[in-house]
Amino acid sequence: MLFIIQCLWFILPASFANMAPVFVKKHFKFLAISLDLGRKFNGKRIFGANKTWRGYIAACLLGIIIAGIQALLYFKTDFFKDWTIFPFQGYNFIILGFLSGLGAMVGDTVESFFKRQSNIKPGEKFIPWDQLDFILGSLIFISLYFRPHWTVYIFLIITIPLFHILINHIGFWLGIQKNKW
């Protein structure tokens, strides 16, 4: 059970970062500039209008904030030390949070590119990539700085898509998301 908690605690900055664009969608309109600037590849938008600088900035900042909270809890309480895979001592939480957020967004953006090129509209199902994109991106980016045991990768790649579906369903039921996926 501790391993499960450790894995989920480890990926928490990326998980929040992945949700950040939805939470800031109605704010900071001046940053709602699409990454692809409307450009096309093979006659189709490269990423689409939903991939914006606002989302990237929000994701990176929220990743840093969540990693900062984790670091604070790690250094201030013994309770959270058991939950931690990432060795905050000797590592920088800002880098971890930034890489978590950036990786989550890059993973999502790469998936969006393939969705656009496959004529799949935003919000339509693209299973299993809708559930794996952010986790693969964040794990790749985090690995540039810190590499957990291989079992952490396997566990997260298998379980996070299930959590992702559950969280999206909850967001749909609460009226935050337009679709369940």
Q: Residue-wise pLDDT tens for the chain (181 aa)?
A: 899 999 999 999 999 999 898 888 888 888 778 888 888 899 888 888 889 999 999 999 999 999 999 999 999 988 888 888 988 888 999 999 999 999 999 999 999 899 988 888 877 788 788 888 999 999 999 999 999 999 999 999 999 888 877 877 888 888 877 766 6
Phi–psi pair at 89, nearest 5 degrees: -75, 120
Does residue 179 fall inside a structural domain? no
| 28 phi and psi angles, rounded to 5 deg | 50, 50
Instruction: Give the model's pLDDT for residue 60.
Output: 97
Please state the φ and ψ torsions of residue 45, each to the nearest 5 degrees. -55, 140
Residue 60 is assigned to a structural domain of this protein: yes
What pLDDT shows up at residue 179? 67
Q: 181 in a domain, yes or no?
A: no
Which positions ≥6 away from 28 have C-beta within 8 Å?
A: 54, 58
Q: What is the pLDDT of residue 129?
A: 85
- Report d(CA 27, CA 60) in Å as an integer: 16
d(CA 68, CA 80): 13
- Domain extent at residue 54: 2-173
| Domain count within the chain | 1
DSSP element (H, E) containing 56: helix 53-76
Residue 65 lies in a domain: yes
102 located within any domain: yes
User: For residue 61, what are its two tokens?
Assistant: 């900042």
**Torsion on CA atoms 111, 116, 121, 124, rounded to nearest 10:** -30
Q: Does the residue 145 lie in any domain?
A: yes
User: Is residue 180 a part of any domain in this protein?
Assistant: no
- Domain-located, residue 100: yes
